[in-house]
């Protein structure tokens, strides 16, 4: 399966579909185009079409472009829990959305602890990383 080279290519196909097809035929036409031109399976084409044509309105192509540009780049979320002088657990989650409609997801966790005794102090850190590879997906860029 191939994917669109960028967000503008997706917008172009959607705009063309809106100009050439009546409302009731747009879904089927886009499914057909995805299967024929990009090698999507029937299930992939149906999912992709239902995602980007969810509103099926005249301005949907422009909304896809606008909303896609809003989420481009890196998004990071973090959490931290623990107590002073004891254990600490930190989590960092990163999402990366690229102009070529690929996305990546990474979760990093670090668990650490400090032991304080009468004659010594020790600490440890145990990193864990959960990586999801970059994958092609119909990122939900609709209104």
Residues 25, 79, single domain; the answer is no
Give the pLDDT confidence score for residue 76 in this predicted structure: 94
Residues 37, 81, single domain; the answer is no
**Does a structural domain hold residue 26?**
yes
Give the pLDDT confidence score for residue 2 in this predicted structure: 67
Residues 12, 50, single domain; the answer is yes
**Does a structural domain hold residue 143?**
no
- Residue 60, by phi and psi: left (phi above 0), alpha (psi -120 to 50) or beta? alpha
Residues 16, 66, single domain; the answer is yes
**Does a structural domain hold residue 141?**
no
Range of the domain at 51: 7-71
Give the pLDDT confidence score for residue 129 in this predicted structure: 65
Spell 84-95 as b/e; 16+ CB within 10 A means b: eeeebebbeeeb
Over 90: is that where the pLDDT of 8 sits?
no
Give the integer Cα–Cα distance in Å for 60 and 52.
Answer: 8
- Residues in Cβ contact with 103 at an 8 Å cutoff, skipping those fewer than 6 apart: 95, 96, 97, 134, 135, 137, 139
Give the pLDDT confidence score for residue 141 in this predicted structure: 39
Over 50: is that where the pLDDT of 66 sits?
yes
Residues 121, 101, single domain; the answer is yes
Over 50: is that where the pLDDT of 136 sits?
no
Where residue 142 falls among pLDDT bands split at 50, 70, 90? Answer: very low
Give the pLDDT confidence score for residue 37 in this predicted structure: 84
Over 80: is that where the pLDDT of 28 sits?
yes
Cβ–Cβ < 8 Å for 8, 16: no
* 3-class secondary structure, 36: helix
Q: Which helix (H) or strand (E) holds 40?
A: none
Residues 86, 66, single domain; the answer is no
Over 60: is that where the pLDDT of 67 sits?
yes
Residues 60, 94, single domain; the answer is no
**Does a structural domain hold residue 2?**
no
Give the pLDDT confidence score for residue 14 in this predicted structure: 87
Residues 77, 130, single domain; the answer is yes
pLDDT-above-70 percentage for the chain: 76
Residues 80, 131, single domain; the answer is yes
Counting the structural domains of the chain, the total is 2
Residues 78, 67, single domain; the answer is no
**Does a structural domain hold residue 54?**
yes
- Residues in Cβ contact with 37 at an 8 Å cutoff, skipping those fewer than 6 apart: none
Residues 12, 61, single domain; the answer is yes
Give the pLDDT confidence score for residue 78 in this predicted structure: 93
Q: For 73, list phi and psi in degrees, rounded to 5.
A: 110, -165
Give the pTM. 0.60
Residues 80, 27, single domain; the answer is no
**Does a structural domain hold residue 1?**
no
Mean pLDDT of all residues in 18-35: 90
Mean pLDDT of all residues in 83-105: 81
Q: Token pair of 120, please? A: 């010594």
């Amino acid at each position: 399966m191939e994917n669109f080279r960028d967000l503008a290519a997706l917008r172009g196909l959607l705009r063309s579909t809106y100009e050439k097809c009546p409302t009731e035929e747009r879904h089927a036409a886009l499914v057909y185009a995805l299967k024929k031109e990009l090698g999507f399976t029937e299930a992939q084409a149906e999912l992709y079409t239902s995602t980007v044509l969810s509103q099926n309105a005249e301005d949907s192509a422009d909304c896809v472009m606008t909303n896609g540009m809003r989420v481009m780049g890196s998004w990071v979320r973090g959490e931290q829990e623990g107590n002073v002088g004891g254990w600490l657990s930190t989590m960092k989650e990163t999402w990366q959305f690229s102009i070529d409609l690929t996305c990546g997801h990474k979760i990093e966790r670090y668990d650490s602890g400090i032991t304080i005794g009468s004659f010594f102090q020790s600490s440890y850190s145990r990193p864990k990383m959960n990586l999801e590879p970059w994958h092609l997906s119909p990122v939900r860029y609709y209104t």
